[in-house]
Amino acid sequence: MKYTLTLLLAFMLAMPGLFAQKTISDSAIATHLIHGNLGLQLPGRDLATRFGGFAMVGPGYMYKTKSNWIIGAETGFIFGNDIRNSDNILKSIATSDGNIIDMSGSYADFHYYMRGFTAMARVGKVIPVAGPNPNSGILVTLGGGYLQHKVLIDHRDQTAPQISGDYVKGYDELKNGLLTNIFLGYLYLGNNNKVNFFAGFDFSLAATSHVRPYSFAEKKYYEGTFIDTFAGFRAGWFIPVYKRAPKEFYYY
């Protein structure tokens, strides 16, 4: 009995040395990161011939491994009201001053907006630099996915059949195609799980083509591929999902 108690005491004293204690404050850990993000973008190339600056907002998900690799997916909804060369969109059915006559003989009330969305997968790396813990640092990711955008002709009263129902689709210039993206910024995961965010700059390049086969405005069939680019600032707020609370011990 005395021999058994001696062995048990020795084992208990050795326990702290048999396990490593890991917390987010001193070790890189694996975690799920759910986020919402907002971006302000400036268009380039063919996209800039139709639209000005626009905003993107949407949800996303990332998984960060213990070695600080990032994989994830996200979607972004595009909103803008800077439509360039808008006088040409309805020129084939508009009056000389750019208005549309509705069924009552009055000018129809309508507005132009940019609408669209992106959906992409991401892979990247967190480089621990100037952060509160090894889980924070410079974030570099590459993304690939899908882009779609169009001119939304917002005619809520639906009093002008020329820009109502399926007819309006002949003027919306709907385009879509494959998208690539690169992001460079900073990822911050706080030790107390209260402040978690990312922020940085990104650049996107897409090869798009028209979805509608025929242009009512130009009275011709669409053809060709377009190079759409946009770049800007993007930031998001994380909700980390830890297996345990950040301050608790992780054993291996």
Reported confidence tier of residue 112, pLDDT bands at 50, 70, 90: very high
Q: Is 205 strand, coil or helix?
A: strand
Mean pLDDT, rounded, for 145-160 = 95
pLDDT confidence of residue 244: 56
Do the beta carbons of residue 75 and residue 118 sit within 8 Å? yes
Q: Is it the case that residue 146 has pLDDT exceeding 90? A: yes
Average pLDDT over residues 82-105: 91
Q: What is the pTM of this model?
A: 0.85
Q: Give domain 32-237's CATH number out of 2.40.160.20, 3.40.50.720, 3.40.462.40, 1.10.520.20.
A: 2.40.160.20
Which range of 47-56, 87-96, 100-109 scores highest in mean pLDDT? It is: 47-56
Flag whether pLDDT at 4 surpasses 50.
no
Query: Where exactly are the structural domains of the chain?
Result: 32-237
Mean pLDDT in residue range 165-178: 94
* Spatial separation of the C-alpha atoms in residues 16 and 40, rounded to whole Å: 51
Check residues 252 and 131 and name the one with the higher pLDDT. 131
How many separate helices (H) and strands (E) can be counted in the chain?
A: 1, 10
Beta bridge partners of 111: 154
Which amino acid, one-letter code, is at 145? G
Per-residue pLDDT, 25: 81
Give the contacts of 70 (CB within 8 A, at least 6 positions apart).
62, 63, 64, 122, 123, 124, 125, 126, 139, 141
Confidence of residue 249 (pLDDT cuts 50, 70, 90): very low
Give the residue with greater pLDDT, 113 vs 245.
113
More confidently predicted of 113 and 10: 113
Whether 245 has a pLDDT exceeding 60, the answer reads no
- From the list 138, 136, 142, the residue with the least C-alpha distance to 33 is 136
What percent of the chain is predicted at pLDDT more than 70? 87
Residue 193 pLDDT greater than 90, yes or no: no
- pLDDT of 36 higher than 70: yes
Average pLDDT over residues 126-154: 96
